[in-house]
Amino acid sequence: MKKVQLKFMMLIGGLLASTIAAAEYGMNLRKGVTEFSETAYGMHTFTLWICIFIGIAVFGAMIVSIFKHRKSKGYNPEQFSHSTTAEVIWTIIPILILIVIAIPATTALIQMENPTTEEGKRLPMDMTIKITGYQWKWKYDYMDEGISFISSLAREHNIARQKGSGIDVSTIENYLLEVDNPLVIPVDTNIRFLLTADDVIHAWWVPDFGWKRDAIPGFVNEAWTNVKTPGTYRGQCAELCGKDHGFMPIVVEAVSKEDYAKWMADQKGEQETETQMVDVEWTKEQLMAKGEAVYNTQCATCHLPTGAGMPPAFPALAGSEVVNGPASAQIDLVLNGKPGTAMQGFGAILSETDIAAAITYTRNSFDNTAGDVVQPATVKSMKQ
Amino acid sequence: MSQDITHDEVAHGHHDHDHKPKGFVKRWLMTTNHKDIGTLYLVFAFAMFILGGAMAMIIRLELFQPGLQFVEPAFFNQMTTMHALIMVFGAVMPAFVGLANWMIPLMIGAPDMALPRMNNWSFWILPFAFTMLSATLFMPGGAPAGGWTMYPPLVLQGGHNVGFLVFSVHMMGISSIMGAINVIATIMNMRAPNVGYLNMPLFVWTWLITAFLLIAVMPVLAGAVTMLLTDRYFDTSFFNAAGGGDPVLFQHIFWFFGHPEVYIMILPAFGVISEIIPTFARKPLFGYVSMVYATAGIAFLSFIVWAHHMFSVGMPLGGSLYFMYATMMIAVPTGVKIFNWVATMWRGSMTFETPMLFSLAFVVLFTIGGFSGVMMALAPVDLQYHDTYFIVAHFHYVLVTGAVYALIAGAYYWLPKWSGHMYNERLGKIHFWWSTISVNVLFFPQHFLGLAGMPRRIPDYSTQFAEFNMMSSIGGFAFGLAQVFFIYIVWKTVKGGDKATAQVWEGAKGLEWTVPSPAPHHTFEEFGPVDLDKMAHGKNH
């Protein structure tokens, strides 16, 4: 008997310990770092407690009944089959509870959709960022600054997540929640997000901001946020968008306004250099080196690092007629995509240099024999 | 037809007091008997349950640990999509049609379903539909992988499987509509002459309302998938933004079908539970009339709440508010049902045979699913919950511990009537505890995963989600195994066991308990009034 008790105590202790350990990994909604996320957290907690309370009442009555009103205790069944009073009470009370929950929910939703200042004026937005979803990456456009870039799963993570990579993913920090180029935003700023997509529907979600919103081709959706605390906030695509839906994370770095200004200046400088480099004659080695990097982040998801592809959905580049044929046809395909397939047009996503480098790389790798070099300037001329 | 067969058999001297046709083809392929068709539906549904369950096992196996160990992401998406399609259209819906076929005529004193030949056809479409759907797994490009919700433009990237998907959904829809017409025609025309609508057992009522839902929404689904088909193959642009179409339109149409659909899966379950609890509480169902009104109320509300599946899609404020309020209203009639079941138990004289255990677990676990439903109805918070594992936990609580538990409870409850044998009570209880513990280990941690930020439909996840995923997978394997054990229990019961009496359960009421066990091939052959005191609940009490 003692032994059984001991075992029972150990089980309970083990369960408690695992609960504490689990708390570290998060088992509740995050409070987040915006006013909206805090409101959502508050409503979640409030509603959860109401549910727990009702649960205790209903299940309590059931448990009492199960233990008291059982045949083995010789309980004689009563034969009542309705009570108008009881039925009216348990119709009215839930309605009242629902009204109590609905009032704060209405206020919160209005503030999300039609934000106003404390004086009741429309809340002014300080800056606008356009978010475009692609299979399987995000593009961020700082509309007021003319800066834009692609953000996709960080390379180290992309290698580790391949089936049979042999890498222990628990050794990788923030596994699957790291990108090459994070979105950088200033704190204490009203930021308007415009969301759309190029191919299929995606959803942009950072739990710490308290909302997700679909990015839909042909639609421009709107959302806003104002982050109070500097920090790195991570999220993921939340709408099934194809095979690599699980591998298009979102990382937002909220920094002070000064740091943001500095970062923005750097971005503009880099963009300028990049524009100048388009008209420069590149050597084959330069293009191959850059091309390998671009290929592995942008193309290898579908066409695989070996160029073998996954036919029929994702054709092989090794030995491909297009890749071994005239360069202009391949440039056209990469720039404009192939309608009705997963091959998207990269003209709006990648720079001329990146496209030229990636094409050069494919034409001279995987035993392909085209042997020629595609210059960024050529891509630029074809784009126009 | 059965008449002809009978004469034929008499002529050949194979007289059987049951008038069962001989030979596999005549007995099963050409059957027009509601009991045999009911059995076919139930066996088919269980086979699909095992197939869909096997896919769930693959999903849980891949999610056992972070990192990709067993399948590629593209195949993982095929598994989640096919798992849902097979479970919804292949397992749960046909299983309830099977129960309807078996029990409705027995419960209202009818000799058979009103349209027996159509009944045969509506069943035999299904094996073809699901063979075709499953065949896509072996085609180049694989099975549909865009989710059971089939959202364009993603689903249209599916290559050749789009055509197979659409055609098989059409066939399932035709089967469901025919089944529903048959149920309505039977209930309206075939009741024994003195059985009024408010004398009918609640299972019959819930099915009558469900059948109207089916007729109303299956054509809507058919329309939606037909537009997918023409977008894919005939260059239309219903949902293609580049051609002036609207991808969100599909979601509105789909969920106009999809929300009533979830009630199609749960209303008959309410009916089953409303039969079982009074039997084992030895007390009439509490609030029969309010149960009927609550069912009708839920059915009506199901048509006007669809866009709560789309709060993140970018609806106008007024739209979101309306759908939030309308959705919250569903809690009221659903609450009435829960309270009525508890009131039925209250001061009863309960015993805890396996059907009752599953029913009690249904009440508790379905309510938990209802609670998370109320939480998700709140649009501003749903912007967090939407498309996470919190949702996955929610709908598995209402569909597995809800609809599937009601089916298992119903199977144990009526198995003695069907087979003529009692199942082994000890094995039944083992099955119950094994299932109930494991199903909670399986789905409860998924609430935590969703709240902590894990999106649904992903094959791999950040290491912070590892513990709860492993727990969930262990629960999943155990729950899967428990259902294999269930096959053994049912098989053993059909093959032999203690002879069941006509009454079977001490507290059972209803016309089905007035016929012998196993129920003869033909029952209530003579049209005439029945003893209303023998009817299960209803206004006569």
**Partners of residue B314 in chain A, C-beta under 8 Å:** 195, 213-214, 216, 219, 221-222
- Band of residue B37 on the pLDDT scale cut at 50, 70, 90: very high
Confidence of residue A14 (pLDDT cuts 50, 70, 90): low
What is the C-alpha to C-alpha distance for residues A240 and B430, in angstroms, rounded to an integer? 38
When CB atoms are compared, the residue of A25, A69, A221 closest to B347 is A69
User: Is B228 a residue whose pLDDT tops 50?
Assistant: yes
Nearest to B128 by CA among B205, B241, B13, B44: B44
Per CB-CB distance under 8 Å, the chain A contacts of B364 are 59, 62
Using CB atoms, pick whichever of B141, B154, B313 lies closest to residue A312: B141
- Residue in chain B lying closest to A30 (CA): B452
Instruction: Please state, rounded to an integer, the average pLDDT across all residues of chain B.
Output: 93
Q: What is the chain B residue with the closest CA to A109?
A: B380
From the list B357, B356, B359, the residue with the least C-alpha distance to B402 is: B359
Known catalytic membership, residue B235: no
Interchain contact B279–A (C-beta under 8 A): no
Give residues with Cβ within 8 angstroms of A264, minimum separation 6.
A142, A145, A147
Domains within chain A, CATH numbers bracketed: 31-72+84-113 (no CATH), 127-276 (2.60.40.420), 279-383 (1.10.760.10)
- Inter-chain CB proximity A36 and B387 less than 8 Å: no
Interface test with B, best of A11, A172, A243 (most B CBs within 10 A): A243
Round to whole Å and give the CA distance between A263 and A239. 31
Residue B261 known to be catalytic: yes
B509 classed as catalytic: no
Query: Which of left, alpha, beta for A242 (phi over 0: left; psi -120 to 50: alpha)?
Result: left
C-alpha–C-alpha distance, residues B124 and B215, integer Å: 19
Which strands, in side-by-side order, build the sheet including A221-225? A147-151, A137-142, A127-134, A191-197, A221-225
- Residues A330 and A363 sit within 8 Å (Cβ to Cβ): yes
* Interchain contact, B72 vs A243, CB within 8 Å: yes
Spatial CA neighbour of A238 closest among A142, A106, A131, A128: A131
Lowest average pLDDT, out of A31-35, A344-348, B424-428, goes to: A344-348
What percent of chain A shows pLDDT beyond 70?
Answer: 93
How many CB atoms sit inside 10 A of residue B499's CB? Answer: 11
pLDDT recorded at residue B13: 41
- Give residue B473's pLDDT: 97
CB A186 within 8 Å of CB A255 = yes
A114 Cβ contact partners less than 8 Å away, ≥ 6 residues apart: A122, B317
- For B314: left if phi > 0, alpha if psi spans -120 to 50, otherwise beta; the answer is left
Interface mutation vs chain B, best among A59, A165, A212, most B CBs within 10 Å: A212
End-to-end CA distance of chain B: 39
Contact B207, B268 (CB under 8 A): yes
Among A2-16, A240-254, B407-421, which is the least confidently predicted range? Answer: A2-16
Q: Do A246 and B458 touch (CB under 8 A)?
A: yes
How confident is the model over B417-429, as a mean pLDDT? Answer: 96
In the block, tokens 């219903």 appear at B238
DSSP A281: P
Tell me what the mean pLDDT of segment B302-321 comes to: 95
Between B72, B246, B452, which is nearest A163 by CB?
B72
| Mean predicted confidence (pLDDT) in B142-163 | 92
B259 is catalytic: yes
Position B18 scores a pLDDT of 65
Chain B interface, best mutation among A24, A38, A45, A65, by max B CB count within 10 A: A65
The CB density around residue A230, as the number of other CB atoms within 10 Å, is 16
Taking CA atoms, A302 is separated from A70, B88, B287, in Å, by 63, 32, 59
User: Residue B66 and residue A170: Cβ atoms within 8 Å?
Assistant: yes
Q: Which of B140, B284, B367 sits opposite A79 (nearest CB)?
A: B284
Catalytic entry in B80, B168, B176, B295: B176
Give the three-state DSSP class for A30: coil
Per residue in B441-499, pLDDT (tens digit) is: 999 999 999 999 999 999 999 999 999 999 999 999 999 999 999 999 999 999 988 99
Tell me the Cα Rg of chain A.
28
A298 or B210: whose pLDDT is higher? B210
- For residue A62, give the chain B residue with the closest CA: B342
Q: Note whether A192 and A129 are within 8 A (CB).
A: yes
Q: Write down the pLDDT at residue B14.
A: 43
Q: What is the pLDDT of residue A328?
A: 87
Of A47-61, A332-346, B133-147, the one with minimum mean pLDDT is A332-346
Contacts of A326 (CB under 8 A, 6+ apart): none
| Contact (CB, 8 A) for A194 and A130 | yes
Q: How far is CA B449 from the centre of its chain?
A: 26
Round to whole Å and give the CA distance between B440 and B489: 22
Strands A249-255 and A183-186: parallel
Q: What residues contact residue A300 under an 8 Å CB cut-off, 6+ apart?
A: none
Residue A190 confidence class, pLDDT cut points 50, 70, 90:
very high
- Any chain B CB within 8 A of the CB of A120? no
- Catalytic residue, candidates B175, B279, B436, B473: B175
Residue A10 pLDDT level (bands cut at 50, 70, 90): low
Give the three-class secondary structure for B351: coil
Closest CA to B227 of B216, B238, B241: B238
ipTM (interface predicted TM):
0.90
Count of CB atoms within 10 A of residue A110's CB?
15
pLDDT tier for residue B209 given thresholds of 50, 70 and 90: very high
CA distances, B46 to each of B54, B397, B403 (Å): 12, 19, 13
Query: Using a CB-CB distance cutoff of 8 angstroms, which residues of chain B are in contact with residue A80?
Result: 286, 347
Mean pLDDT is lowest, of A11-15, A123-127, B133-137, B219-223, for A11-15
Q: Which residues of A touch B448 (CB under 8 A)?
A: 22, 26-28
Of B286, B352, B380, the CB nearest to A108: B380
- Cβ(B166)–Cβ(B226) below 8 Å: yes
The pLDDT score that the predictor gives to residue A382 is 86
Q: Do B457 and A240 make contact, defined as CB atoms within 8 angstroms?
A: yes
The answer to whether residue B437 neighbours chain A at the CB level (below 8 Å) is no
> How far is it, in rounded angstroms, from Cα B504 to Cα B320?
51
Consecutive H or E run containing B291: helix B288-302
Residue A7 binned pLDDT confidence (cut-offs 50, 70, 90): low
Identified catalytic residue from B34, B35, B259, B447: B259
3-state helix, strand, coil in chain B (%, to 5): 70, 0, 25
Cβ proximity of B203 and B271 under 8 Å: yes
**CB spacing of A201 vs B153 below 8 angstroms:** yes
Q: What confidence score (pLDDT) does residue B75 get?
A: 95
Burial class, B29, CB count within 10 angstroms (exposed 0-12 / middle 13-18 / buried 19+): exposed
Active site residue B263: yes
**B32 pLDDT above the threshold of 80:** yes
Judge whether B467 and A17 are in contact, CB under 8 Å.
Answer: no
Give the per-residue pLDDT at A104: 93
Closest CA relative to residue B80, chosen from B102, B63, B56, B112: B56
pTM score: 0.90
- Which sign, positive or negative, has the C-alpha torsion B193, B197, B199, B200? positive
Judging contacts by C-beta atoms under 8 Å, the chain B residues touching residue A195 are: 314
B337 flagged as catalytic: yes
Tokens read off for B273: 């539970």
Which of A35, A39, A62 to probe the B interface (max B CBs under 10 A)?
A62
Å from A371 to nearest chain B CA? 32
Give the separation between CA B452 and CA B388, rounded to whole angstroms. 9
Residue B332, chain A, CB below 8 Å: the answer is: yes
Please answer whether residues B158 and B78 qualify as being in contact, where contact means their C-beta atoms are separated by less than 8 angstroms.
Answer: no
Gap between the Cα atoms of A115 and A38, Å rounded: 15
Contact: A200, B154; criterion CB under 8 Å: yes
> What is d(CA B216, CA B232) in angstroms, rounded to the nearest whole number?
26
Q: Which residues of A touch B66 (CB under 8 A)?
A: 169-170, 175-176
Task: Please compute the mean of the pLDDT values over residues A102-119 and round it to a whole number.
Answer: 90
Q: Does B309 qualify as catalytic in the annotation?
A: yes
Query: Mean pLDDT over residues B275-285, rounded?
Result: 94
Instruction: Considering only the beta carbons, identify the residue of B321, B453, B455 that sits closest to A106.
Output: B321
Contact between B282 and A69 under an 8 Å Cβ cutoff? The reply is no
Instruction: Give the separation between CA A211 and CA B504, rounded to whole angstroms.
Output: 54
What pLDDT score does A285 carry?
86
pLDDT at res. A119:
86
* CB atoms closer than 10 angstroms to residue A232: 14
Residues B354-381: b if buried by 16+ CB within 10 A, e if exposed: bbbbbbbbbbbbbbbbbbbbbbbbbbbb
Residue type, A48: L
Single out the residue of A254, A208, A210, A209 nearest to residue A229, CA to CA.
Answer: A254
A39 and B151: CB-CB below 8 Å? no
- Looking at residue B9, its pLDDT comes to 42
Peptide bond into B455 cis (omega under 30): no
B290 is annotated as an active-site residue? no
Judged by DSSP in three states, A304 sits in coil
Question: What per-residue confidence (pLDDT) applies to B321?
Answer: 96
